[in-house]
Amino acid sequence: MLSSIANCLCGAVKITAGEINPKFTVCHCDTCRGWGGAPFFAVQCGPNVKIEGSDNVKIYPSSDWASRGFCTECGTHLFFKFKKSGDYNMPVGIFENLRDIEMDVQYFSDRRPDYYCFSNKTKELSKAEIIAYFENAL
């Protein structure tokens, strides 16, 4: 597991993630693409995350099971957080010096529009497969 520091664009929020899974995920779901204008490249950080400048973090409940946080000053997307486990998924690009990470799985692969695709060799999970998984896990 890697440990790393993330910053929003304006510097009002600094996040230290104690454990980062080097196998990152990509989500093609409508909510992620609507949120960021593109698929969400996310690293799993577990619940052990320290947020400095949390007065500048707005948390939006994006579904029954998770919320999304962003900087109120510059709009940088900071995290997707599962309500039940408290686990954070954070955008790959906000971390400094993340090395030796690998695209591992693409979520909602059947929701990916035709106008892009990645050449990375990854696992893929469709919407139906994800719903079946979470019915057991949550």
User: Which residue from 7, 4, 12, 13 is spatially nearest to 48, judged by alpha carbons?
Assistant: 4
Q: What is the DSSP string of 76-121?
A: -EEEEEETTT--EEEEGGGBSS--S-EEEEEETGGG--TT----S-
Total chain residues near Zn ion (CB under 5 A) = 9
Find the shortest distance in angstroms from Cβ 59 to Zn ion.
14
Find the shortest distance in angstroms from Cβ 9 to Zn ion.
5
Select the span of 42-50, 74-82, 83-91, 119-127 touching Zn ion (CB under 5 A): 74-82
Residues with Cβ within 8 Å of 102's Cβ and at least 6 positions away in sequence, in order, are 22, 23, 24
**Beta carbons of 97 and 4 less than 8 angstroms apart:** yes
Select the span of 7-15, 18-26, 89-97, 124-132 touching Zn ion (CB under 5 A): 7-15
71 near Zn ion, rule: CB under 5 A = yes
Give the burial class of 131: count Cβ atoms within 10 A of its Cβ; 0-12 exposed, 13-18 middle, 19 or more buried: exposed
Q: Binding Zn ion by CB under 5 A: which of 8, 20, 49, 92?
A: 8
Select the span of 2-10, 62-70, 83-91, 120-128 touching Zn ion (CB under 5 A): 2-10
27 near Zn ion, rule: CB under 5 A = yes
Summarize as ranges the residues that interact with Zn ion (CB under 5 A): 8, 10, 12, 27, 29, 32, 71, 73-74
